[in-house]
């Protein structure tokens, strides 16, 4: 019986080879700053659902127009109660501020962007060409009452820092008597 591998299965096989035998693949081919735990979830989903032929991630990929995964930059959120400020940092290596958009809609802050990196160089007599293309989006709920003009953002050395005020304590729910 011959086996046909999809592109995702080939990628999964390469990642598993690297994890079990680091010399099987160079780190330059494996390292991806946007690699996340969702990739490991996909690996396990594909491994355990291969017999059924119906991977959850294959269903998601079909819904996303065939994209097997999206870029998902890391995000940290820190609340400073003394200064009454919330700071969110996003890791966006290699991106410029022109590549990133920040939107506020329905009390949600969305950081989105697109990376188009194409690098060519010569190394030890070989032509090396690396490319990375993709879109990303991260959404963060905002506290009630935050105005868009109160949100500040800055991008430095691949780290996007977004700060906004944390509003006062929310009012306790009010009980309504039924007549």
Residue pLDDT, tens place only, 28-65: 444 555 555 666 666 666 666 555 444 444 444 443 33
Task: Please report whether residue 174 resides in a domain.
Answer: no
Residues 57 and 79 in one domain: no
Residues 58 and 103 in one domain: no
Least confident of 106-110, 124-128, 169-173: 169-173
Provide the token pair at 129.
Answer: 């060409």
Query: What SS3 string covers 17-79?
Result: HHHHCHHHCCHHHHCCCCCCHHHHHHHHHHHHHCCCCCCHHHHHHHHCCCCCCCECCCEEEEE
Enclosing domain of residue 25 = 7-63
Residues 84 and 59 in one domain: no
Task: Please report whether residue 175 resides in a domain.
Answer: no
Q: Is the pTM of this model over 0.85?
A: no
How far, CA to CA in Å, does 56 sit from each of 13, 33, 43, 48, 61? Answer: 18, 24, 11, 11, 9
Q: Encode pLDDT of 4-19 as tens digits.
A: 545 555 555 555 555 5
Residues 83 and 157 in one domain: yes
Total structural domains within the chain: 2
Cβ-contact 7, 68 below 8 angstroms: yes
Q: Provide the 3-class DSSP secondary structure of residue 89.
A: strand
Give the helix, strand, coil percentages of the chain, each rounded to 5. 25, 35, 35
Q: Which of 159, 137, 155 has the alpha carbon at shortest distance from 71? A: 137
pLDDT exceeds 70 at position 166? yes
Task: Please report whether residue 15 resides in a domain.
Answer: yes
Position with higher pLDDT, 157 vs 1: 157
Residues 82 and 124 in one domain: yes
| End-to-end Cα distance, the chain | 73
pLDDT at 14: 57
Residues 113 and 157 in one domain: yes
pLDDT exceeds 60 at position 148? yes
Within 10 angstroms of residue 153's Cβ, the number of other Cβ atoms is: 16
CATH number at residue 145: 2.60.40.790
Ranked by mean pLDDT, which of 65-79, 130-144, 150-164 comes out on top?
Answer: 150-164
Q: Which of 15, 17, 55 has the alpha carbon at shortest distance from 35? A: 15
Residues 158 and 86 in one domain: yes
Average pLDDT, the chain: 72
Residues 80 and 161 in one domain: yes
Residues 85 and 57 in one domain: no
Residues 79 and 156 in one domain: yes
């Amino acid at each position: 019986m011959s086996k046909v591998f999809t592109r995702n299965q080939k990628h999964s096989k390469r990642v598993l080879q690297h994890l079990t035998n680091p010399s099987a693949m160079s780190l330059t081919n494996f390292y991806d700053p946007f690699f996340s735990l969702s990739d490991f979830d996909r690996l396990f989903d594909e491994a355990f659902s291969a017999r059924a032929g119906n991977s959850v991630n294959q269903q998601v990929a079909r819904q996303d127009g065939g994209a097997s995964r999206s870029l998902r930059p890391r995000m940290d959120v820190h609340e400073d109660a003394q200064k009454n400020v919330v700071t969110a940092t996003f890791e966006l290596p290699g991106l410029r501020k022109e590549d990133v958009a920040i939107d506020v809609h329905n009390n949600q802050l969305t950081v989105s962007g697109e990376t188009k990196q194409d690098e060519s160089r010569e190394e030890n007599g070989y032509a090396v060409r690396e490319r990375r293309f993709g879109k990303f989006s991260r959404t963060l709920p905002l506290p009630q009452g935050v105005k868009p003009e109160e949100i500040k953002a800055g991008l430095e050395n691949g780290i996007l820092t977004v700060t906004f005020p944390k509003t006062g304590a929310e009012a306790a729910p009010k009980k309504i008597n039924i007549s």
